[in-house]
Amino acid sequence: MRSGRRRSAAEEARTLLANTNDGALGTLSDDGTPWASMVAFADLGDGAAALMVSTLAEHGRNLERDPRASLMVAHEPRELDQLAHGRVTIAGRAEAVTGDERARARDAYLAAIPAANAYERFGDFRIWVLRPERVRWVGGYGRMDDVEVADLAAADPDPTAAAAARAIDHLNADHAAALLAMARALRGYPDALAARCSAIDRYGLNLSIETPRGHAPSRVGFAEPVAAADGLRAATVELTRLARS
Amino acid sequence: MRSGRRRSAAEEARTLLANTNDGALGTLSDDGTPWASMVAFADLGDGAAALMVSTLAEHGRNLERDPRASLMVAHEPRELDQLAHGRVTIAGRAEAVTGDERARARDAYLAAIPAANAYERFGDFRIWVLRPERVRWVGGYGRMDDVEVADLAAADPDPTAAAAARAIDHLNADHAAALLAMARALRGYPDALAARCSAIDRYGLNLSIETPRGHAPSRVGFAEPVAAADGLRAATVELTRLARS
C-alpha cells in the first residue's frame, strides 16, 4: 500500500490562499521600517490577492508611497502550536488596478468579505492587486520550500481543505476501529493498539499510531485523489473496506 | 448608572501582547521588500517582545542584515470578521541581546512557547528583543489610536482577558434574564425584549439589546474594575443584584 502523494508546496500555498480571507500585510512605512498589519484579502485564483485598503490607514498610505508589499496567510483556525502549521508569504508589488481589472478584484473582494459591502461606499477605500514575485511556503517544523510563481498560479487548491477539520474530528470520534484497521493492515503495524487521524487532504490521511514500542506517525494514501469538497467520506470508506478485506 | 470606563488604547495593546503568543513579523528582505512572516513571541511585560528566530529562516536572515522590524498581534481566536477585532502593531528595532538580557528573554520565550524547548538546542536559533518605537492599535472599524511607547510600558494588561470568551458564552447561555434586567434597569431600555453580552472586560460588559425599535448597542460598567482573572463572576453577580434591586 502506497503512503500516497502529498500536496506539493505550490498546492499547499494555493490551498492556504483559497481557504483564508485574512492575513498579515507587510508594507514600508515612511521611515523605511517594515510595517506588519492585518488585512482582509480575496484570492484571485492565480496566486494574486485583491485588497481593499483605506487611504487613511497606515498600510494604505504606505502602498500609495511604495507598492512593494507581502502578504502572509496562515492556516485557520489557530492551533496551540501555531508554528507547527502551514503558512505562505507572497511578496511582490501591489497595483492600484483600474477598469475591468478593478471590477474583477472588487467583485472578488466583496464576495469574500461580505462586511466590506458596508464600507466600500466610503470614499477612502482603494482596490489593490498584490501580484507575487516571490513565494515562500512553510508547512511547519522542517517542512518548507520556495514556490515558483508560475507553479503557484497553475496549482489547484485542495477542494477538501474546508472540510478537513470536521472530517478529522468525525474519524477520531466515530471511526477509531477503522483507523486502527488501516494502521494494522495497510501500514504494517499489525500490533497497533490505536490510531488517530492527525491530518487529511485530497491525497490521503496522516495517522498517529500507538504501538507497544511507542507512537509512530504514518500516512495512508487514497486510491485516487479526491476531486470534490464532499469526497473525503467515500475515500475513507474505501480505505476502510480495503483495510478489512 | 455609568456606562463605565473602557480600556484605553494602551491597555488594549498591552492586553493583546500579554494574551497572545504568535503574530506576524515584518522585516526587510535583501531587495528591500517588506517581508511578512509568522513568528511566535513572548511578551516581556514592558511593550517589548522576545523572539527566537532561526538564522536559516528568511526573517532571521533579514534581521541579521537590518534590525528594523514590526510585530502585529491580533485577538485570538479568529472570528468571522477578523477586521472587527483588535490588533496592535509595534514597530522598532530588534536587538540580538546578550548576557542577562538574553537570559531573561530566553526564559520568557521558553515559558511562553513550550515547543521551543525541543529545538532551542539547535545552533541556528538566536534570541532577539523587539523594542517598540512606534505603536498603533486598531480595535475594529473606526476604533484606533496611536499609543505612546511609555504608556504601553506602563499599562496593565486586563487580567480578565483570558476568561472573557468563556464568560460571554456563559452569560448568554445561562443568564439571559440577568442581562435583560441590566438592559431594562441600568441602561434605560425598560421595553427591552432581550439582551446579549457581546464583550466583557475588567471595566464592564457590552450589551446588544433587542427592543421593539431595533437593536441597540450599550455598555454597563462594573462598580469597580475587576482586579483578578477570576473576578468577572462576582462583578456580574453584583450588577445583576443592582439591576434587580
- What are the pLDDT digits (tens) for A170-213? 999 999 999 999 999 999 999 999 999 999 999 999 999 999 99
Give the pLDDT confidence score for residue B87 in this predicted structure: 94
Determine the residue of chain A that is closest to B33 in CA distance: A68
**Beta pairing class for A194-201 and A42-43:** unpaired
- Residue-wise pLDDT for A51-73, tens only, equals 999 998 999 999 999 999 999 99
Residues of B in contact with A119 (CB under 8 A): 141
Which of A78-87, A228-237, B119-128, B175-184 is predicted with the least confidence, judged by mean pLDDT? Answer: A78-87
User: pLDDT tier at A93 (50, 70, 90 boundaries)?
Assistant: very high
Residues of B in contact with A81 (CB under 8 A): 113, 115
For residue B87, which residues of chain A lie inside 8 Å, CB to CB? Answer: 37-38
Nearest Cα of chain A lies from the Cα of B38 at a distance, in angstroms, of 7
Task: Identify which of B16, B21, B13 has the alpha carbon closest to the alpha carbon of residue B137.
Answer: B13
- How crowded is the C-beta side of B184, counted as CA atoms within 13 Å? 16
Interface test with B, best of A22, A29, A37 (most B CBs within 10 A): A37
Strand A22-28 to strand A68-74: parallel, antiparallel, or no bridges (unpaired)?
antiparallel
CA separation (Å) from B139 to A52, A205, A206, B152, B224? 18, 39, 39, 15, 23
- At B242, the pLDDT band (50, 70, 90 cuts) reads very high
pLDDT at B77: 56
pLDDT tens profile B5-28: 899 999 999 999 999 999 999 999
Amino acid letter, B12: E
CB contact under 8 A, B36 and A28: no
Q: Could you give the CA distance from residue A201 to residue A227 in angstroms, rounded to a whole number?
A: 11
Instruction: Give the count of Cβ contacts less than 8 A between chain A and B.
Output: 131
pLDDT at A75: 83
Distance CA B107, CA B115 (A): 13
Hey, what's the torsion of the CAs at B84, B86, B92, B97, to 10 degrees? -140
Q: Which three cell numbers stand for residue A86?
A: 502551514
The pLDDT value recorded for residue B4 is: 72
Structure confidence at residue B142 as a pLDDT band (50, 70, 90): confident
Which three three-digit cell numbers place residue B214?
431595533
Separation in Å, CA A118 to CA A96, A107, A114, A122, B78: 21, 14, 8, 9, 20
Q: Which of B54, B83, B88, B117 to mutate to test the interface with A (most CBs of A within 10 A)?
A: B83
Within 10 A of A191 (CB to CB), how many other CB atoms are there? 10
Q: What is the pLDDT of residue B2?
A: 62
Please, what is the average pLDDT of chain B? 93
Q: List, in sequence order, every beta strand (DSSP E) within chain A.
A: 22-28, 34-40, 42-43, 49-54, 68-74, 87-95, 125-140, 143-147, 194-201, 204-211, 214-221
Q: What is the rounded CA–CA span in Å between residue A113 and residue B82?
A: 10
Output the pLDDT for position A31. Answer: 94
Min Cα–Cα distance to chain B from A130, Å: 13
pLDDT of residue B224: 93
Q: Do B68 and A34 touch (CB under 8 A)?
A: yes
- Strands A42-43, A49-54: pairing kind: antiparallel
Q: What percent of chain B has pLDDT over 70?
A: 96
Output the pLDDT for position B81. Answer: 65
The pLDDT score that the predictor gives to residue A141 is 76
Q: How confident is the model at residue A121 (pLDDT cuts 50, 70, 90)?
A: confident
Q: What is the pLDDT of residues B34-51, one digit of tens each?
A: 999 999 999 999 999 999
CA distance B45 to chain A (A): 21
Mean pLDDT of chain A: 93
CB contact (8 A) between residue A34 and residue B26: yes
How far A175 CA sits from the closest chain B CA (Å)? 28
Q: Cβ of A115 and B27 within 8 Å?
A: no
Looking at residue B100, what is its pLDDT?
97
pLDDT exceeds cutoff 90 at B122: no
CA distance A236 to chain B (A): 30
Taking only the tens place, the pLDDT of each residue in B63-85 is: 999 999 999 999 875 455 667 78
Q: Which of A22, A72, A119 sits opposite B36 (nearest CB)?
A: A72
* Residue A76 confidence (pLDDT) above 80: no
Please check the confidence at residue A78 and state whether its pLDDT lies above 80. Answer: no
**What residue type is assigned to position A244 of the chain?**
R
B57, amino acid identity: A
